Amino acid sequence: MDPSAPKRVLLIVGGGIAAYKALELVRLFRRAGVGVRAVLTRAGAEFVTPLSLGALSEDRVFTELFSLTDEQEIGHIELSRQADLLVVAPASANLLAKAANGMADDLAATVLLATDKPVLMAPAMNVRMWLHPATVRNVDSLAGDGVRFVGPDEGAMACGEFGPGRMAEPQAIFTAAMGLLASGPVAAPPVRPLKSRRVLVTAGPTFEPIDPVRGLSNRSSGKQGYAIAEALAELGAEVTLISGPVDLPTPTAVRRVKVVTASQMLEACRAALPVDAAVMAAAVSDWRPERVADRKLKKEAGAPEIRLGVADRKLKKEAGAPEIRLVRNPDILATLSQPGPERPQLVVGFAAETDHLEEHARDKLVRKGCNWIVANDVTRPGVLGGEENVVTLLTHEGEEAWPRATKVEVARRLAERIAAALAEGSEAGDAR
Ligand SMILES: Cc1cc2nc3c(=O)[nH]c(=O)nc-3n(C[C@H](O)[C@H](O)[C@H](O)COP(=O)(O)O)c2cc1C
């Protein structure tokens, strides 16, 4: 196949409210010079018309398996042969279930079964449907067959509920599709060395309330932890992601538990045990206010729960600054690293440092009793909140400085190391 030849996408539109977004997706492909041929399921045609899809794709739209004209002209096998990539958007729960089980009872399902081309699915459904164990199984098994996923996003849904299940935005689907089109005619089948392994990942900051509107937190974006959760899931792991407050979508095929405070995070971690590995990438606040005011603290002196400050007497005199007394938060990394029957085989901590990176990180490795520390220098430009990271991996055997890479690349490298370590079982003996 000529790599410079114009690319062609076969777009399968399933039966969901999000089908209208498929029209925008067609426009994005066409604007980029990508040819689009659409298959519209019967249910899909309840939401968008073949006419609008056909007008935007500038091609005819295929709907029926047993259409004499269609079959004589192109045929269901030929449909997938002519495309470089199949995109299913929206991928309804029904379409996922049919594709996962090799069913071929309509044109869309038959084409999906007959294809040898890469397939990208953009699931869209009600949050309960998405979280149902049957859908989780179907997504897992499709991912095992090499199907790629984009989304779903989390947010308010047409049905009035809130959670993961909204179809990814057309731009995100377009970007994922263009990535697959650029990576060659046939995407390599995924390797899933972590199949049947359970992994726990923490990510993001914690937020320790001072009063109903204020709190102590930090600038962790959660991007590195989320990328790690996704990379581990791509390798086949059953991932529970325990996340502090961040504005990121739930990675595909990952179970996310949202928490706010360090104590809630520890509780959620305990509930997720037993796991084979734990990657503690969250930036957990070391301290929390001793007491949380039940009303917003006012600027005027004399807020009932707060003693006036002694640390800065000048400020006290001028502004009546309250003193917030802090107490230690639980140490989640040290708690999970404690020897015992529930200790994960591999515990990986993170150390965000601003100076003496390796020295501080090695000290943390020993103090916490974990197996590895991923240390990063957060003073480096673009690291905190950015898309890239520069990390050093410290183990009890030595250390490796990894070159600057995107957070996704760092995540994939770490996920592969975790898979190798679990396979060797090398960490088990001395760590427990
Ligand atoms: C108003 C309405 C909205 C629907 N939205 C969705 C949806 O967003 N996702 C989904 O999986 N199913 C949804 N369904 C159910 C599917 O349309 C139904 O399961 C259908 O059989 C799926 O067909 P398909 O395999 O062609 O996609 C909806 C049904 C109705 C009546």
Cα 90 to ligand 1 centroid, rounded to whole Å: 9
C-alpha 257: how far from chain center: 12
122 and 247 co-located in one domain: no
CA 91 to ligand 1: nearest atom = 27
The one-letter code for the residue type at 368 is K
- 28 within domain boundaries: yes
| CATH number (domain holding residue 100) | 3.40.50.1950
Q: Do 250 and 154 meet the contact criterion of CB atoms below 8 Å apart?
A: yes
Ramachandran category for residue 366: left, alpha or beta (phi over 0 → left; psi -120 to 50 → alpha) = alpha
The predicted pLDDT at position 189 comes to 54
Sign of CA dihedral 380, 381, 385, 388: negative
Considering the entire predicted model, what is its pTM? 0.63
Ligand 1 lined by 44 (C-beta under 6 Å): yes
Look at the chain and report how many structural domains it folds into.
3
The predicted pLDDT at position 71 comes to 66
119 and 173 co-located in one domain: yes
CA 44 to ligand 1: nearest atom = 26
170 and 252 co-located in one domain: no
Cα 15 to ligand 1 centroid, rounded to whole Å: 4
| CATH number (domain holding residue 393) | 3.40.50.10300
- Residue 185: pLDDT band (50, 70, 90) is low
| Nearest in space to 419 (alpha carbons), one of 203, 140, 231 | 231
Q: Do 285 and 329 meet the contact criterion of CB atoms below 8 Å apart?
A: yes
Ligand 1 lined by 16 (C-beta under 6 Å): yes
- Residue 375: pLDDT band (50, 70, 90) is very high
310-359 pLDDT, tens per residue? 444 444 444 566 778 999 999 999 999 999 999 999 999 999 887 788 88
Kind of pairing between the strands at 346-353 and 277-280: parallel
Ligand 1 lined by 94 (C-beta under 6 Å): yes
The one-letter code for the residue type at 7 is K
Q: Atom 28 (ligand 1): residue with closest C-alpha?
A: 16
Range among 72-81, 145-154, 224-233 rated most confident: 224-233
- 110 within domain boundaries: yes
**What gap in Å lies between CA 157 and CA 90, rounded to an integer?**
14
CA 98 to ligand 1: nearest atom = 25
Mean pLDDT, the chain, rounded, equals 87
- 294 within domain boundaries: no
215 and 203 co-located in one domain: yes
302 pLDDT exceeds 70?
Answer: no
> 269 catalytic, yes or no?
no
62 and 164 co-located in one domain: yes
Catalytic residue among 156, 159, 319, 420: 159
**What gap in Å lies between CA 32 and CA 361, rounded to an integer?**
47
| Nearest in space to 257 (alpha carbons), one of 201, 309, 217 | 201
- 12 within domain boundaries: yes
Structural domain ending residue among the three candidates 116, 150, 182:
182
Q: What one-character-per-residue DSSP string does 12-56 give?
A: EE-SSTTHHHHHHHHHHHHHTT-EEEEEE-TTGGGTS-HHHHHHH
Ligand 1 lined by 17 (C-beta under 6 Å): yes
- Residue 271: pLDDT band (50, 70, 90) is very high
Sequence-distant contacts of 352-361: CB under 8 A, at least 24 apart? 352/220, 352/283, 352/376, 352/378, 352/384, 353/377, 353/378, 354/378, 354/379, 355/379, 357/392, 358/392, 358/394, 358/399, 361/392, 361/394
Domain that holds residue 44: 8-182
The predicted pLDDT at position 155 comes to 76
The predicted pLDDT at position 312 comes to 46
The predicted pLDDT at position 336 comes to 97
- Residue 69: pLDDT band (50, 70, 90) is low
Q: Do 176 and 120 meet the contact criterion of CB atoms below 8 Å apart?
A: yes
Ligand 1 lined by 125 (C-beta under 6 Å): yes
Q: Comparing 132-141, 287-296, 423-432, which segment has the lowest mean pLDDT?
A: 423-432
Ligand 1 lined by 135 (C-beta under 6 Å): no
SS (H, E, C) 149-199: ECCCEEEECCCCCEEEEECCCHHHHHHHHHHHHHCCCCCCCCCCCCCCCEE
Ligand 1 lined by 93 (C-beta under 6 Å): yes
130 and 143 co-located in one domain: yes
**Three-point CA angle 326, 330, 331, nearest 5°:** 120
Cα 130 to ligand 1 centroid, rounded to whole Å: 12
**What gap in Å lies between CA 64 and CA 84, rounded to an integer?**
22
- Counting every residue written for the chain, the total comes to 432
